[in-house]
Amino acid sequence: MNSAFLKSINWQTQKKGQEILSQKVQSMLFCSGSLTAILKEQGVLTVQVLHESMQDARDIFDREKALLPEDECFWVREVLLSVNQKNAVFARSVIPQKICNTLEVLTKMGQQPLGEFLFSHHIKRGDFEWSATSNGLARHSLFYIAESALLVGECFLNEYWDSYYKA
């Protein structure tokens, strides 16, 4: 799986169009708490790093650039989260280089979920935007750190909904 499907998503605010989603799906998709913690409650969570590197700003998706503070480079990390060996969530984080310079640990997460770091440090989360994609339901939001922000996008894969939250 790669992030190409995220490039052309028509994102909408959390309130827009959510009436088409069941309450059960809404409660998961728009949960402002730690997704990592929720997935761990459902079984054994594994993180497979698909890609991570520092990328030039011109290589970041337009929507990401519009949401994030201006910077020359961004750390991009794409992972596949699995629960009990079943693919659950594709996640993409985009972190301005200025944040990475201050918090180098963010570029050395390895198999550790980013959410564990963000929520253990009580980092403020912004509002969600969401969209339905052919791969599943996607959401993204900003996390605010030291007068800057990083973007975390997550796509709850269709297999996840089939296995855990039949709507």
* Chain segment 104-153, per-residue pLDDT in tens: 999 999 999 999 999 988 889 999 999 999 899 999 999 998 789 999 99
Q: Extract the tokens encoding 11.
A: 């994102």
Q: What is the mean pLDDT of the chain?
A: 90
Concatenate the DSSP letters of all residues of 150-166 into one string. Answer: EEEEEEEEHHHHHHH--
91-117 confidence digits (pLDDT tens): 999 999 999 999 999 999 999 999 999
pLDDT confidence of 15, banded at 50, 70, 90?
confident
Listed in sequence order, the residues at least 6 apart from 121 whose beta carbon sits closer than 8 Å to its beta carbon are none
58 closest CA partner among 42, 85, 76, 46: 76
pLDDT confidence of 18, banded at 50, 70, 90?
confident
Using alpha carbons only, give the angle 11, 34, 122 rounded to the nearest 5 degrees.
105
